[in-house]
């Protein structure tokens, strides 16, 4: 099978996700260590440098999550496919058994349905006494001779 080139967007997201993560984390750490001053009062104005650092820090950190998930989506899918293949091979006998049973159930259901359709469209009926297939408008059974 030919190797398909990975779209550039995945590469960009792959590169961006750790950058966002590190930048966000650095901003948060900076905000809660260097810029945070517990001796100051809880005030928007005095806490401005800290908040100005913390808010984008949290935002950028959270932004790294979708970037990471999307950037590694092809890899995650590959792992999922490999896992599915492994599970399939590992449970081959059981899965074959399930598939065979399902096929038999389907076959029986289809047979019953087909029979019902055939009976519905044909001008035949079953004898009340012996169960033989006879003409719909016949007064006596052609097999057992009993009246319908």
Q: Which residues bind Zn ion (CB under 5 A)?
A: 127, 129-130, 132, 141, 143-144
For the bound state, the minimum distance from the C-beta of residue 140 to Zn ion, rounded and expressed in Å, comes to 8
CA distance 119 to 134: 11
The pair of three-digit structure tokens given for residue 147, joined into one six-digit string? 């009246």
User: Which C-beta is closer to Zn ion: that of 62 or that of 140?
Assistant: 140
Q: Which is nearer to Zn ion, 28 or 134 (CB)?
A: 134
Q: Which two tokens stand for residue 145?
A: 């001779």
SS3 content of the chain, % helix, strand, coil (to 5): 70, 5, 25
* Residue 138 beta carbon to Zn ion: minimum distance, rounded to whole angstroms: 10
CB of 112 to Zn ion, least distance (A): 22
| C-alpha Rg value of the chain to the nearest Å | 36
Please say which residue, 75 or 128, places its beta carbon nearer to Zn ion.
Answer: 128
């Amino acid at each position: 099978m030919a190797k398909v080139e990975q779209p550039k967007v995945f590469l960009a997201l792959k590169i961006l996700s750790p950058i966002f993560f590190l930048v966000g984390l650095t901003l948060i750490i900076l905000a809660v260590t260097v810029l945070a001053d517990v001796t100051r009062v809880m005030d928007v104005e005095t806490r401005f440098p800290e908040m100005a650092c913390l808010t984008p820090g949290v935002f950028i950190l959270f932004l790294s999550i979708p970037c990471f998930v999307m950037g590694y989506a092809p890899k995650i899918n590959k792992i999922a496919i490999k896992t599915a293949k492994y599970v399939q091979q590992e449970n081959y006998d059981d899965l074959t058994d399930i598939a065979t049973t399902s096929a038999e159930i389907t076959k029986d259901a289809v047979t019953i349905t087909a029979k019902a359709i055939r009976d519905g469209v044909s001008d035949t009926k079953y004898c009340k006494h012996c169960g033989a297939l006879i003409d719909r408008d016949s007064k006596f059974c052609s097999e057992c001779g009993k009246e319908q």
